Amino acid sequence: MDSLRRWMDEKGVRKVKLGAIDVDGVFRGKYVSLEKFYSAAKSNMGFCDVVFGWDLGDELLDNTKVTGWHTGYPDTPAKVDLSTARIIPWEPDTAAFLLDFVNPDGTPFEASPRQLLQKMGQRARKLGFLPKFGAEYEFFLFKEGPQSLHEKGFKNLTPLTPGMFGYSWLRTSMNAPLVHALIDGCNAYGLNIEGFHTETGPGVFEAAIRYDTLELAADRAALFKTVVKEICAKHGVSACFMAKVDPKLPGCSGHVHQSLWNLKGEDNLFHDPSQKHGMSKLMRHYIGGQVALMPELTALYWPTINSYKRSVENTWAPTTATWGLENRTCAIRVIGDSGKSMRIEYRQLGADMNAYIGMAVSLAAGLWGIENEIEPPAPVLSNAYEAKNTKPLPRNLKDAVALLKNSERAREILGEGFVDHFVRTREWEVRQYERAVTSWELERYLELI
């Protein structure tokens, strides 16, 4: 506590922001006084568990077990993770810390995505592996604020830049104040941006966050979306991480690079120069597990109704459970040919992923493949959209949730408590969509039918 107080004093901290990522990947938090923070740092603080009992729009779920009217929506204990200390660059007198939800007896709260991620990290280390992960996001930027988004009904939005211009030197320079604010702000916040460029599409950008050990990589990826939204708001811009914004344009990915190293972090266990393509047996089995479980775990990777609109042939997003060497039409792309670079790029994940869940689940599937020595199918050497004898991925959230709900292997590797809660939240999401009358239906049927 003494060193913490000294750090806070040296940084001129006058207030603290505490928060956690919910199941939908939304950062929920609040400001607290220094007195309140120091008290919470010594022992757990209470945080209303309604964050596990409502949806993106704060509408209360009617089917949850972990909380609800039947429990009275009590406070649940939340532990401050002091290792996540950050100064918010655009609020320089404010420190930020992540929270971990726990049960009253101190055990992990099973419904918490960050706790799931930590659990998978511990499991990997028990098996003798140090997971190293890194995320990259694609996202749209619009010259809109929250008010104009709602006034326009989220239609006819003005993109930051016009036209299709991927890897544009010009577009980034034209918007240098915002681009530099994003890169510098993320770096100052500890998110370590490794690359930043335009993608193909009006106002579309991509950022790659530097890889690190699983837990650090997941925190950075989970925080990234909120950080981008905060910085963009100061420039009169809104950031969108939907999987598919426009049916005529490619979707937004959230690819995650993955590798397993020895516990000292010195040797990449995915690389074996004596094996075909330099892929170790460990790597083959890791991919084998991921490919085998991909369809039944898809709801965890693609958690929204919109997620499935991205999975369209010839749009850079996978439609089948496949893998290949440097093949961007596959769900898993093997990259590299050396101990430094050998890794997989998990391409099924979209920008709308919950980073904790996406990373935890793909790691769990890979570890399951290693433990059961699952050999992958043959790599796809051409266009995976045209490949034969491949497993199709679910085409909508309802079907994906049904597969997950009936998956004994998902409950085995992730835990009954987490899977049960997640399934309930997605079943709720499906029901809300089924009740909705969309603009497509109105335009299609209102006048003519």
Same domain, 388 and 325: yes
* Model confidence pLDDT, tens digit, residues 186-201: 999 999 999 999 999 9
Same domain, 176 and 324: yes
Single out the residue in 80, 105, 130 at which a domain terminates.
Answer: 105
Residue 417 DSSP label: H
What integer best gives the mean pLDDT of the chain?
Answer: 97
Cβ–Cβ under 8 Å, residues 327 and 381: yes
Task: Spell out the SS3 assignment of 191-231.
Answer: CCEEEEEECCCCCEEEEEECCEEHHHHHHHHHHHHHHHHHH
Same domain, 82 and 150: no
Same domain, 154 and 12: no
The answer to whether residue 239 is domain-embedded is yes
Cβ–Cβ under 8 Å, residues 142 and 157: yes
Same domain, 282 and 429: yes
* Model confidence pLDDT, tens digit, residues 398-444: 999 999 999 999 999 999 999 999 999 999 999 999 999 999 999 99
Q: In the predicted model, what is the mean pLDDT of residues 210-230? A: 98
Q: How far is CA 412 from CA 349, 354, 372, in A?
A: 22, 21, 13
The answer to whether residue 447 is domain-embedded is no
Strand pairing class (212-213; 130-142): antiparallel
* Model confidence pLDDT, tens digit, residues 223-248: 999 999 999 999 999 999 999 999 99
Look up residue 265 and give its two tokens: 């972090």
The answer to whether residue 62 is domain-embedded is yes
Strand pairing class (15-21; 27-32): antiparallel
Q: Is the pLDDT of residue 1 over 90?
A: no
* Model confidence pLDDT, tens digit, residues 132-149: 999 999 999 999 999 999
Same domain, 74 and 146: no
| d(C-alpha 441, C-alpha 306), whole Å | 16
Instruction: Return the CATH number at 35.
Output: 3.10.20.70
| d(C-alpha 59, C-alpha 26), whole Å | 14
* Model confidence pLDDT, tens digit, residues 355-399: 999 999 999 999 999 999 999 999 999 999 999 999 999 999 999
Same domain, 148 and 185: yes
* Model confidence pLDDT, tens digit, residues 32-73: 999 999 999 998 999 999 999 999 999 999 999 999 999 999
Query: What's the total number of domains in the chain?
Result: 2
- The share of the chain scoring above pLDDT 90, in percent, equals 98
| d(C-alpha 100, C-alpha 106), whole Å | 10
Same domain, 146 and 71: no
Q: Is the pLDDT of residue 307 over 90?
A: yes
Q: In the predicted model, what is the mean pLDDT of residues 167-172? A: 96
The answer to whether residue 245 is domain-embedded is yes
CA angle in degrees (0–180, nearest 5) for 352-358-360: 155
The answer to whether residue 446 is domain-embedded is no
Domain range spanning residue 212? 120-440
The owner of tokens 């890169």 is 183
- Cα 166 to chain centroid distance, Å, stands at 23
Instruction: Return the CATH number at 354.
Output: 3.30.590.10
pTM for this structure?
Answer: 0.97
Cβ–Cβ under 8 Å, residues 321 and 387: no
**Who contacts 355 (Cβ-Cβ below 8 Å, separation ≥6)?**
21, 25, 135, 218, 221, 222, 224, 254, 256
Same domain, 163 and 249: yes
**Who contacts 85 (Cβ-Cβ below 8 Å, separation ≥6)?**
4, 7, 95, 96, 97
**Who contacts 38 (Cβ-Cβ below 8 Å, separation ≥6)?**
1, 5
